[in-house]
Amino acid sequence: MPDARITIPAKVQRGAPFEVRIVIRHPMETGYRTDESGKPIARNVIRTFVCRYNGEPVFSARLSPGIAANPYLRFFVTARESGELVFEWQDDAGASVSERAALTVT
Amino acid sequence: MHGRFEGRRRLLGGAATLALVPWLPARAADAELPYIPALAAFLAGRTPRWERIRLELPRLADNGQSVPMKITVDGPFAPGPTVRALRLFSQRNPVPEMAVFEYPVPVERVEVESRVRLAGTQRIAAVAEMSDGTLCANAVEVVVTIDACLDGTG
Amino acid sequence: MRGATLGAAACAVALCAAAAAAQERALPLSELRSGIDFAGPSVRALQADDVANPGMLWVERGEKLWNEPSGTAAASCASCHGEARSGMRGAATRYPAYDAGAEAVVDLEARIVDCRVRRQRAAAWPRESDELLAITAYVAHQSRGLPLAVSIDGGARAAFERGRAFYYQRHGQMNLACAHCHEQNWGKRLLAETISQGHGNAYPVYRLEWQNLGSLQRRLRACLFAVRAEMPPPGAPELTDLELFLAWRAQGLPIETPGVRR
């Protein structure tokens, strides 16, 4: 599974806010469900999410089971210099994933 | 041809109190935060202003497992206070603090979209924390119906 | 004796020909409406948005699997079929289809697994596994916008008849046939939901209730559970028969994979 699908504009203007959209493949297991035999399924949700722009955090989120599975986030970041956006998230099971997207600023 | 299914308004017309219009932010009459202990604890006695922040969810959710949600805080910001964090609270979910979105670096366009899970019909509240410590808030009610048919495929 | 047999055979041929020529439709083609027409605005918006549609996560994975060599033959789907965009265009519109080798009607999932096992010489992917869902969604996605056009002639005829019989037969404790909801009461409300015509043109679909992508067979099993009938196991022949009937019933509806439903 791709861990995430990231969409940012091909080119952004310096100083202007640009849209970031990300869909993360994750069950966001609430911990309130049981399996067929009645055994509880352990909670496993993405707890922390951060977007870093050339190393500097520009947007972060703390999530809960109240966020739907395969979480979708859409937010804005102000364009400065060209470079890279790095997205990182951690879940209850201890998994830590990182994805990156190149950014072209004109 | 679409006369047969002209929206959910017909169905719930008979139901008690709700005037259903999809995707509307709270009306002036709703200008009151739902009582949520976690929200009250966060506010710690402060009164948020009922302005600038808009919380949008459909009035009727297709499925409580995934409900689109949008928070917008109207600019402009600089030179005044900027948005530091956005908090989302649920009235009925087992975990009342649904999410916190933070801006370590201020941005001129504050708009966050995601999809939330709602454990039944309830009010949701959003609070914006500004860089000068002031708070803005908004709340909406979402009707979450039970499925017409059970799905046993787990 | 011989005369009687010949006479009977002639009758049977005549009947078949007549039936194939004019297969009556309880739901006329001009009245067909995809399930998306009965969905709320949020679901419609989600399906229309290729960025936000969670189903695209599987389509993207499907693309990787398409190009990945697999099995002892170390072949990828692309090795034989080339680029999916061209090679698979229109393929999903013809499924379920009669497979002469298997001497049975197979759905797209079964066809893919067969290819995997016999040609790639790799282990089969179970139904509803992420991999099979991904590759099925990817293949069907290449036919997005193209109209369903299955054949119910020749070897497919028997399965079609069985599927149709199943559709009109009452099932479960609720003693309801598919037709009761999806033919006689589509457009009307069941609690807060509007009953659709029950077509499968958007499958595999991201169903909000499942929080996952799922196949048409999964959806059919869910419907049977809903009327308190015993669910046939995934891959059961009656489910494939029903899929064929449904595809014929939905002839002309465009494929929407990956669809989004509540």
Give me the CATH number covering residue B80: 2.60.40.2470
| Chain C residues 158-197 within an 8 A CB cutoff of chain A | none
Give me the helices (H) in chain C, please.
2-21, 41-48, 55-67, 77-81, 84-87, 108-118, 130-141, 157-168, 178-182, 216-226, 237-249
Distance between CA atoms of residues C82 and C76, nearest Å: 9
Beta bridge partners of A101: A85
Cα separation, B143 vs B130, in Å, equals 30
How many separate domains does chain B show? 1
- C-alpha–C-alpha distance, residues B44 and C72, integer Å: 65
In a domain, C145, yes or no: yes
Q: What is the pLDDT of residue B71?
A: 98
Number of other residues whose CB lies within 10 A of the CB of residue C4: 8
Cβ neighbours of residue C13 closer than 8 Å, sequence gap 6 or more: none
The CATH number that applies at residue C157 is: 1.10.760.10
- The tens digit of pLDDT for each residue in C89-126 reads 999 999 999 999 999 999 999 999 999 999 999 999 99
The answer to whether the Cβ–Cβ distance between A72 and B95 falls below 8 Å is no
Q: Is residue B73 part of a domain?
A: yes
- Does B34 reside within a domain? yes
Q: Determine the residue of chain C that is closest to B5 in CA distance.
A: C187
In this predicted model, what pLDDT tens digit does every residue of C176-219 receive, in sequence order?
A: 999 999 999 999 999 889 999 999 999 999 999 999 999 999 99
HSE at residue C158, side-chain half, CA atoms within 13 A, is 7
Is C206 contained in some domain? yes
- Tokens standing for residue C236: 């059961």
Q: Is residue B15 included in any domain, yes or no? A: no
Q: How far is C37 from chain B (nearest CA, A)?
A: 9
CA C94 from centre of chain: 10
Q: Is residue B5 part of a domain?
A: no
Residue C155's Cβ-side half-sphere holds a number of Cα atoms within 13 Å equal to 11
Instruction: Say whether B105 and A57 touch across the interface (CB within 8 A).
Output: yes
Full-model pTM? 0.89
Asked if the structure places residue B6 within a domain, the reply is no
Q: Which of B23, B62, B146 sits opposite C191 (nearest CB)?
A: B146
Residue C98 lies in a domain: yes
Q: What is the pLDDT of residue B25?
A: 54
Q: Which of residues 16-75 of A touch C (CB under 8 A)?
A: 21, 23, 25, 27-28, 68-70, 72, 74
Interface A-C, measured as beta-carbon pairs within 8 A, has a size of: 35
- Residues in chain C within 8 Å Cβ distance of A1: 57-58, 61, 130, 134
Which of residues 23 through 62 in chain C touch A, CB cutoff 8 A?
Answer: 51-52, 54, 56-58, 60-61
C88 conformational bin, left if phi > 0, alpha if psi -120 to 50, beta if neither: alpha
How high does pLDDT run on average in chain C?
93
C107 is a domain residue? yes
User: B76 is in which domain, residue-wise?
Assistant: 20-144
* Inter-chain CB proximity A72 and B108 less than 8 Å: no
The distance of B38 to chain A (nearest Cα, Å) reads 14
Query: Whose CA is closest to A96, among A105, A106, A86?
Result: A86
Interface test with B, best of A34, A37, A72, A75 (most B CBs within 10 A): A75
Instruction: Name all domains of chain A by residue range, CATH numbers in brackets.
Output: 4-30+43-103 (2.60.40.10)
**pLDDT category, B30, cuts 50, 70, 90?**
very low
The DSSP H or E segment spanning B9 is helix B8-12
Chains interfacing with C (3 or more CB pairs < 8 Å): A, B
The mean predicted confidence, pLDDT, of chain B is: 85
* Full pLDDT tens readout for chain A, 106 residues: 678 999 999 999 999 999 999 999 999 999 999 988 999 999 999 999 999 999 999 999 999 999 999 999 999 999 999 999 999 999 999 999 999 999 999 9
Dihedrals phi, psi of B124, to nearest 5 degrees: -120, 140
Active site residue C223: yes
Look at residue B107 and tell me if it is in a domain. yes
User: Does a structural domain hold residue B153?
Assistant: no
Residue C18 has pLDDT above 80, yes or no: no
What stretch of H or E contains B90?
A: strand B83-90
**Structural domain contains residue C77:** yes
| pLDDT 10s digits, B88-129 | 999 999 999 999 999 999 999 999 999 999 999 999 999 999
pLDDT band of residue B148 (cuts 50, 70, 90) is: confident
Residues C49, C51, C55, C60, Cα dihedral to 10°: 140
Closest partner CB to C60 (pick from A2, A69, A74): A2
Residue A76's Cβ-side half-sphere holds a number of Cα atoms within 13 Å equal to 18
Number of domains in chain C: 1
Q: What is the pLDDT of residue B147?
A: 83
**Does B75 reside within a domain?**
yes
The answer for residues whose C-beta is within 8 angstroms of residue C175's C-beta and 6 or more apart is C227
Which residues form the domain of C223? 33-261
Mutation target to probe the B interface, by most B beta carbons within 10 A, among C31, C33, C209, C225 is C209
The answer to whether the CB atoms of A17 and B105 lie below 8 A apart is no
Q: Please write the tens of the pLDDT for every residue from B49-99.
A: 999 999 999 999 999 999 999 999 998 998 899 999 999 999 999 999 999
Among candidates C38, C45, C192 on the partner chain, residue whose Cβ is nearest the Cβ of B145: C192
Q: Decide: residue C248, CB within 10 A, 0-12 exposed, 13-18 middle, 19+ buried.
A: buried
Chain C partners within 8 Å of A25 (Cβ): 57
d(CA C217, CA C225): 12
pLDDT, residue B2, reads 42
